[in-house]
Structure 1
Amino acid sequence: MKRALPSVLLWLVVTVACAAPVAHTAPAAPAQPPDYRLAPREIAAGVWLLEGANADFAPANGCNIINTAFIDTGDGVVVINTGPSREYGAQQRRAVAAVTGAPVRLVLNLNQHPDYFFGNQAYADVGGSALPGTIDGARREGAAYADNLYRLCGDWMRGTEPAPPVHALAPGPRTIGRRTLELIRLEGHTDADLVVLDRAAGIVFAGGLVFRQRIPTTPHAHIGRWLDSLARLQALMEQSGARVLVPSHGPALGGTEAIAQTRAYLQWLDTRLREAASQGRDLAEVMAMPVPEPFARWGALPAEYLRNVTHLYPAHEEAALGQ
């Protein structure tokens, strides 16, 4: 089965995805802040998961499409990603306190996209930590991210301002309490993708490099480097004996099948765009082309596919014209 993309839907999605930033003013405050209904699930001893919707940003999910997590180290908590808004971060921190009663020692933002760090406002006393490239990207693009999320999710974003990470991380082991986390720098999804290996728990937090049953996001993507990073992730899983790979988007729990899914989609997308460019197809034609199985059943279709084409096709057109 292939799912074609109607022309009216193409126009609507691209208009929202590519619109220029606007001022983010929200309507009068509601009686109660929106409730993300966060429900921590313990996936290994001392490791809790908060799973987001397998969907695109939308008011129905409060722009909560990210998987976040926290680890009780015995000497405080490590938080992985802080969600799309100030309110998400506040509710996440209350969930941490309710489960562990321990102070937060370290907040990790795995890349520069807004749902990885907008909840940092709730951790101002700790400050987010990230790779230097992530800090630079979050500072550079944070205001535009906020404008777009306010447009998409309104009241869920109330009081949210960009809160880029402030502490630069170096790759390598980081020991807190009885946990040693291995911080690994990869790239391709963005210019700086942080991966966290909790060897004791047998879990890899792969960030935005891996998507499970969801169309990948590509605003900062370099497909070749991304595929190289997926190969390194596969080797890391095998070498470490990790049993669980948690992506930041899509169903959270599973193993290396999510690496294979992401690789297959990126290879298919790159081939489609390269062939379409060589055939002289214009952007609208490529957007309207059907998406094959199994990708047609994945979350965030068609919006994310349309953004993929918008982000990546111009470079393929330029390359074809230069031949």
Structure 2
Amino acid sequence: MKRWLPLAFLGVALAAAGADFDYRLSAERVADDVHVFVGKTEDFTPANGGNIVNTGFIVAPGGIVVIDSGPSRRYGEQMRRAIAAVDGRPLALVINTHHHPDHFLGNQAFADTPLAALPATIEGIASDGNAFAENLYRLTGDWMAGTEVLVPKQALAGGRQEIAGRRLRLLALDGHTGADLAIYDEASGVLFTGDLGFFGRAPTTPHADVSRWLAALDTLEAITREPGFRAVVPGHGPVARDAAPLRQTRAWLNWLQMALRRSAEGGLDMNETMAQPLPAEFAGLPVAASEYRRSVGHLFPAVEREALGAPR
């Protein structure tokens, strides 16, 4: 795999090369036997090494269930050591919630453990994983040293399942990508949303279908109204004790969808749409301006075609 860095990142990457490449992962206890490693609410940079994602684990009677493995081999290795410091049980299963690189490129560190995902996620990692890894090399530098794609082999399906003696509800959804897996641990009442939920950070949309994402949020928010619900772990941002991550994600997507339609119907082009100001509700969110511009690039062409009545 190539490890070329563009000149724009070279100076920062060289500085990072002198660092200890320590992600300083600290397990946050969310509930009994449920822990999370909370990432930064930033873009990928050589300074953060790609640690912008939430990963977690559940201590089950038959072993540890890991939820997402992080953005690099180094991250996965450090995550594994941090898990062992909390509980020494063997690893039972690693679940990748979807095929974006910060959620699966730590899989190498768990090569001796079954790796599982939805079938379409497995296909996405197999087809796009190397390109994603190359991009993270460019964005984060030598934090990625030695990272290679390891594709899950175990296909998951939605429904209630007992995994390592723990009753989990697997929710096979989509919208952020073509296949998004959320996990509800019924024993603790903790809901892992994957990247269907963002909190305190603007959502990303490179593979999004906004209408389907909003429908997925309906499903997830219904869980937060069930007796026994305790916490939401979003894919990015702090853990919440209510549905706030889902509500904030919904509000952003509704606004984004409306803003793009209004621009297209008003005859604005893509550059003019990118130049539109953010509403006060979102202007202070980390990376809101950059994610809005990216979302215009991802989503505006289809919205514009629809507004003009052109065939897709």
Compute the TM-score of the two structures, normalised by the length of structure 2.
0.92
Which one of 220, 241, 247 corresponds to residue 207 of structure 2?
220
Superposed, 1:255-266 pairs within 5 Å as 255-266=242-253
Which one of 153, 158, 176 corresponds to residue 166 of structure 1?
153
1:251 alignment partner in structure 2: 238
Which one of 282, 285, 306 corresponds to residue 295 of structure 1?
282
Q: Report the Cα offset of residue 238 of structure 1.
A: 1.3
CA distance in 1, matches of 2:157, 2:163: 15
* CA deviation profile, 1:242-295 (whole Å, cap 9, x unmatched): 121110111223320111111111011001101111112111111111111221
Which one of 7, 10, 24 corresponds to residue 3 of structure 2?
24
Superposed, 1:83-94 pairs within 5 Å as 83-94=70-81
* CA deviation profile, 1:151-198 (whole Å, cap 9, x unmatched): 110011111112222211111222234421111111111111101011
Which amino acid counterpart does residue 3 of structure 2 have in structure 1? H
SS at match of 2:104: helix
Superposed, 1:178-197 pairs within 5 Å as 178-197=165-184
CA distance in 2, matches of 1:124, 1:87: 13
Residue pair 1:56, 1:303 contacting (<8 A) in 2 also: no
1:276 alignment partner in structure 2: 263
CA distance in 2, matches of 1:190, 1:211: 14
Which amino acid counterpart does residue 49 of structure 2 have in structure 1? G
Q: Report the Cα offset of residue 103 of structure 1.
A: 0.9
1:46 alignment partner in structure 2: 33
Q: Report the Cα offset of residue 102 of structure 1.
A: 1.2
Q: Report the Cα offset of residue 322 of structure 1.
A: 2.1
CA distance in 2, matches of 1:221, 1:239: 28
Q: Give yes or no for the alignment of 1:104 onto 2:91.
A: yes
Q: 1:240 to 1:182 in 2, by over 3 A?
A: farther
Residue pair 2:30, 2:231 contacting (<8 A) in 1 also: no
1:74 alignment partner in structure 2: 61
Q: Report the Cα offset of residue 321 of structure 1.
A: 2.4
1:58 alignment partner in structure 2: 45
SS at match of 2:225: helix
Q: 1:40 to 1:203 in 2, by over 3 A?
A: same
* CA deviation profile, 1:1-28 (whole Å, cap 9, x unmatched): xxxxxxxxxxxxxxxxxxxxx9434799
**145-154 vs 156-165, which moves further:** 156-165
CA distance in 2, matches of 1:319, 1:173: 39
Q: Give yes or no for the alignment of 1:154 onto 2:133.
A: no
Q: Report the Cα offset of residue 301 of structure 1.
A: 2.4
Which amino acid counterpart does residue 185 of structure 1 have in structure 2? A
Q: 1:312 to 1:41 in 2, by over 3 A?
A: same
Gaps of 5+ in 1: 1-21
Q: Give yes or no for the alignment of 1:34 onto 2:25.
A: no
Which amino acid counterpart does residue 183 of structure 1 have in structure 2? L
Residue pair 1:86, 1:159 contacting (<8 A) in 2 also: yes
Residue pair 1:250, 1:299 contacting (<8 A) in 2 also: no
Q: 1:312 to 1:240 in 2, by over 3 A?
A: farther
CA distance in 2, matches of 1:77, 1:52: 20
SS at match of 1:107: strand
Residue pair 1:111, 1:194 contacting (<8 A) in 2 also: yes
Query: What is the count of residue pairs matched by the alignment?
Result: 302
Which one of 227, 232, 235 corresponds to residue 222 of structure 2?
235
Q: Which has the higher contact order (CA 8 A, sep 6+)?
A: 1
Residue pair 2:231, 2:239 contacting (<8 A) in 1 also: no
Q: Report the Cα offset of residue 300 of structure 1.
A: 1.9
Which one of 99, 124, 138 corresponds to residue 137 of structure 1?
124
Aligned-residue sequence identity (percent) comes to 49
1:5 alignment partner in structure 2: none
Which one of 178, 196, 199 corresponds to residue 186 of structure 2?
199
Residue pair 2:35, 2:56 contacting (<8 A) in 1 also: yes
Gaps of 5+ in 2: 6-12
Q: Report the Cα offset of residue 31 of structure 1.
A: 7.2
Residue pair 1:56, 1:304 contacting (<8 A) in 2 also: no
CA distance in 2, matches of 1:163, 1:303: 30
CA distance in 1, matches of 2:20, 2:61: 32
SS at match of 1:59: coil
Q: 1:218 to 1:31 in 2, by over 3 A?
A: closer
